[in-house]
Amino acid sequence: MFTGIVTDIGEIVGFTPTAQGQLHRLRIACSYDQSTIADGASIACNGVCLTVVASGVAGDKTWFDVDAAAETLALTTAKHWKVGTRLNLERALKIGDELGGHIVAGHADGIATLVSREDLPDMARFELSTTRELARFIATKGSITLDGVSLTVNTVKDVTFSVLIIPHTLDVTTIGSWKAGSEVNIEVDLMARYAARLTEMTV
């Protein structure tokens, strides 16, 4: 489990398609202490929980390898990742860690597309659209995860919603590079999913 609080920005430095392109082995450089990364550890990469299969140090950077499988490539922006792609990273929660964002599974539900960006004096406003299936779980003032970042929904209208981003978040995540047309991974709030399921079962 994760909280949607990004702790580092990694960069893909190695990319190897395998299994007829159905599996991508990625090498990601980061600033984490390599001694704290165990094989089998979970790290959220742009909101996608991936399993570490190897790690090491090259120069002044730690690296770790993960595999992005067919379902991940089909449902998330991982299909577009390449050498040089920057990723929001978060280590898995440990018992006793501060829950700074909201409960995030690291299982991206799909993709949202950035419709517009408005840079304001003290923040930036982003308007995004997603599928109708996912939009039904998005509510004003509710929580949402975009590229692994825990955010609060500002407004909702049909399949379009907006978020306001403060300068700190723009600085310490990849959100600062978003522009109209960008695709981002979206994970809807788990509580919204459970509420919707309970409603379905009681109808």
Name residues whose C-beta falls within 8 Å of residue 152's C-beta, 6 or more positions apart in sequence.
Answer: 141, 142, 143, 144, 163, 164
177 counts as catalytic: no
Q: Which of 15, 105, 107, 139 is catalytic?
A: 107
CB 173, CB 86: distance < 8 Å: no
Residue type present at position 104: V
Q: Which of 45, 49, 112, 135 is catalytic?
A: 49
107 counts as catalytic: yes
49 counts as catalytic: yes
Name residues whose C-beta falls within 8 Å of residue 84's C-beta, 6 or more positions apart in sequence.
Answer: 11, 12
Between CA 56 and CA 121 the distance in angstroms is: 42
Furthest C-alpha separation in the chain: 59
69 counts as catalytic: yes
Tell me which H or E stretch contains 16.
strand 8-18
Q: Which of 16, 152, 195, 196 is catalytic?
A: 152
51 counts as catalytic: yes
Query: What's the full length of the chain, in residues?
Result: 203
Q: Which of 7, 15, 41, 42 is catalytic?
A: 42
Terminal CA-CA length for the chain: 31
Q: Which of 51, 129, 160, 162 is catalytic?
A: 51
42 counts as catalytic: yes
CB 165, CB 120: distance < 8 Å: no
Residue positions annotated with a catalytic role: 2, 42, 49, 51, 69, 107, 152
